[in-house]
A and B are shown apart, each in its own frame.
Chain A
Amino acid sequence: MVPVTYYVALSALLFTIGALGVLIRRNPLVIFMSIELMLNAANLAFVAFARLYQNLSGQIFVFFVMTVSAAEVAVGLALIVAIFRTKHSINIDEMNSLKG
Chain B
Amino acid sequence: MTFFYLAPWIVIFPVAGLLINLIAGQRFNEKVIGIVASAASGLAFLVSVLLAYSLVGHPDAVRWTIGEWIHAGTLQIDWTFRVDTLSTTMMLVVSGVGTLIHIYAIGYMHEDVRIKSDPSRFSRFFIFLNLFIAAMLILVSGDSYLMLFVGWEGVGLCSFLLIGFWYELDTLGRPSWANSDAAKKAFVVNRIGDFGFLIAAFLIFWGFGSLQFDAVFDQVQTISAINSPLIVAITLFMLLGVAGKSAQIPLYVWLPDAMAGPTPVSALIHAATMVTAGVYLIARSAVLYSAAPAAQFIVAMVGALTALFAATIAVGQYDIKKVLAYSTISQLGFMVAGVGMGAFAAGLFHLVTHAFFKALLFLSAGSVILGMERGHHHLAQHSARDERKPKAVPSSAHGAHIDESLHSQAQEIFDPADMRNMGGLRKTMPITFWVYMVGTLALAGIFPFAGFWSKDEILAAAFSKGYTAVYWLLTIAAFFTAFYMGRQIWMVFFGEPHHEAAAKAEESPRVITVPLMILAALSILGGALNLPKALVGEGLAEKLSVWLEHTISIQPGEFIGSVALISTGLALLAILLSWTLYGRQPLKAGEPDPLKKLLGPVFTGMERKWFVDEGYKALFVDPFVNIARISADVIDGRFLHDWFHEKVLLGGYNFICNILLDRYADQRGIDAFFNSIAQWTKDASASLRRLQNGFVRSYALAVLIGVIAIFGYLLIK
- Contacts from A to B (Cβ < 8 Å): 19, 22-24, 26, 31, 92-93, 95-100
Contact = CB atoms under 8 A, between A and B. Distances in A.
Interface stretch (B214-222, B588-596, B686-694): B686-694
A95 B693 contact: no
B694 A92 contact: no
B697 interface: yes
Contacts of B692: 98-100
Contacts, number: 31
Interface string B672-713: 000000000000000001011111110011001000000000
Given A97-B694, A100-B694, 19 more contacts: A19-B704, A22-B697, A23-B697, A23-B700, A23-B701, A23-B704, A24-B697, A92-B696, A92-B697, A95-B694, A95-B696, A96-B694, A96-B695, A98-B692, A98-B694, A99-B693, A100-B689, A100-B692, A100-B693
26 contacts: A19-B704, A23-B697, A23-B700, A23-B701, A23-B704, A24-B697, A26-B697, A31-B696, A92-B695, A92-B697, A93-B695, A93-B697, A95-B694, A95-B696, A96-B693, A96-B694, A96-B695, A97-B694, A99-B692, A99-B693, A99-B694, A100-B689, A100-B691, A100-B692, A100-B693, A100-B694
Contacts of B700: 22-23
Contacts of B696: 31, 92, 95
A97 B696 CA distance: 10
A8 to B, nearest CB: 14
Contacts of B701: 23
Contacts of A97: 694
Contacts of B694: 95-100
A95 B693 CA distance: 10
A83 B151 CA distance: 114
A43 B695 CA distance: 29
A95 B701 CA distance: 16
Contacts of B697: 22-24, 26, 92-93
A23 B701 CA distance: 6
Nearest to A19: B704
A96 B692 CA distance: 9
Contacts of B691: 100
B637 to A, nearest CB: 68
A26 B696 CA distance: 9
A27 B31 CA distance: 127
- Size category, B interface: 10 to 19
B710 to A, nearest CB: 14
A55 B328 CA distance: 146
Contacts of B695: 92-93, 96
Nearest to B704: A19
Contacts of A96: 693-695
Contacts of A24: 697
Contacts of B689: 100
The list of the 4 closest CB pairs from A to B, nearest first, reads A96-B694, A100-B692, A99-B694, A22-B700
Contacts of A93: 695, 697
A81 to B, nearest CB: 17
Contacts of A98: 692, 694
A31 B699 CA distance: 13
B706 to A, nearest CB: 12
Contacts of A26: 697
Nearest to A25: B697
B277 to A, nearest CB: 103
Contacts of A92: 695-697
Contacts of A31: 696
Contacts of B704: 19, 23
A96 B689 CA distance: 14
A97 B704 CA distance: 22
A94 B697 CA distance: 11
A31 B703 CA distance: 15
A24 B693 CA distance: 16
B699 to A, nearest CB: 9
B385 to A, nearest CB: 112
Nearest to A93: B695
A31 B696 CA distance: 10
A31 B693 CA distance: 19
A22 B701 CA distance: 9
Most buried by A among B692, B697, B701, B704: B697
A92 B700 CA distance: 12
A100 B697 CA distance: 15
A92 B691 CA distance: 17
B358 to A, nearest CB: 112
Interface in B53-109: none
A23 B695 CA distance: 11
A92 B692 CA distance: 15
Nearest to B692: A100
A100 B687 CA distance: 11
A87 to B, nearest CB: 13
Contacts of A100: 689, 691-694
Nearest to A97: B694
Interface in B191-222: none
A19 to B, nearest CB: 6
B668 to A, nearest CB: 34
B698 to A, nearest CB: 9
Nearest to B707: A19
A22 B692 CA distance: 18
Nearest to B698: A23
Contacts of A22: 697, 700
B686 to A, nearest CB: 11
B344 to A, nearest CB: 116
A3 to B, nearest CB: 20
Interface string B126-145: 00000000000000000000
Interface string B386-411: 00000000000000000000000000
A92 B698 CA distance: 11
Most buried by A among B689, B691, B696: B696
A88 B694 CA distance: 18
B704 to A, nearest CB: 6
A97 B692 CA distance: 10
A25 to B, nearest CB: 9
A29 to B, nearest CB: 13
Contacts of A19: 704
B324 to A, nearest CB: 110
Nearest to A95: B696
Contacts of A95: 694, 696
A98 B701 CA distance: 16
A79 to B, nearest CB: 12
A80 B422 CA distance: 134
Interface string B623-651: 00000000000000000000000000000
